[in-house]
Amino acid sequence: MDPDWTNDTTLTAKCRMLLSGALHGKDTLFLSDNFEDLTREVISKIRDDEEKRMLEADELILMFGASLLERLGALRRHVISQRMRQLARLLITFKITNGQTSLMELIDASRFYDVVVCVRGVCGDAQEQTVAGVKMFTSPSYGLHIGHSIVKCCMIKRGRAIRLKNHEMKQEAVSFQELMEGQDWI
């Protein structure tokens, strides 16, 4: 491995560069100036509704949006806002059935099946079945998209736990991600 890891293009090296800010000349990732950029470039252009208020209040959704902004840039703000709104919609659905919580608290193995139930609810159970007898969803792509976003949030939570030296938080994220990688996701 190249000792100058800024020239290495492996996924691990890219993660190191992103966390150190080397990709964009920033000091570190997830500082308040990144949230200012996110607010200016993305959040200020989102329709003002319950989803916007939810995503503004959730720290992990903001970190997720900041990481997408770093990676995709301001020209793809519609994709960033769409993915942030999907996570906010998940929190709103969870709030209706289980009470108020944050995405950081949801990413825990003990809440995995509650998250699956909420995602299935948002995907909408269709009355139809496939030839093999598998239930269909009215919006199956939502489950796939939110699944990718949740995996990214698991990685963000794990990275934050490592930086904070919080072993319990790290284990929550790792356990949740292992369940996602198994065959338990919707």
0.75 surpassed by pTM? yes
Q: Which residues lie closer than 8 Å to 27 by C-beta, 6 or more apart?
A: 21
User: Going along 28-93, which residue ranges are E strands?
Assistant: none
Calpha distance 53→92 (Å, rounded): 10
| CA 177 centroid distance within chain | 12
Measured distance CA(107)–CA(32) in Å, rounded = 23
Q: Could you read off the pLDDT tens digit of each residue along the chain, which spans 186 residues?
A: 445 544 555 666 566 555 654 444 444 444 444 588 888 888 888 899 999 999 999 999 999 999 998 888 889 999 999 999 999 999 999 999 888 889 999 999 999 999 988 898 888 876 677 777 777 788 888 888 999 999 999 999 999 999 889 999 999 999 999 998 886 676
- Give every CB contact of residue 124 below 8 A, 6+ residues apart in sequence: 137, 138, 139
Q: How many Cβ atoms from other residues are within 10 Å of residue 118's Cβ?
A: 23
E runs forming strands in the chain: 125-129, 135-137
Give the model's pLDDT for residue 184.
Answer: 63
> Which one, of 101, 108, 41, lies nearest residue 68 by Cα?
41
**Helix or strand (DSSP H, E) at 162:** helix 140-164
pLDDT of residue 16: 58
φ, ψ at 137 (rounded to 5°): -115, 150
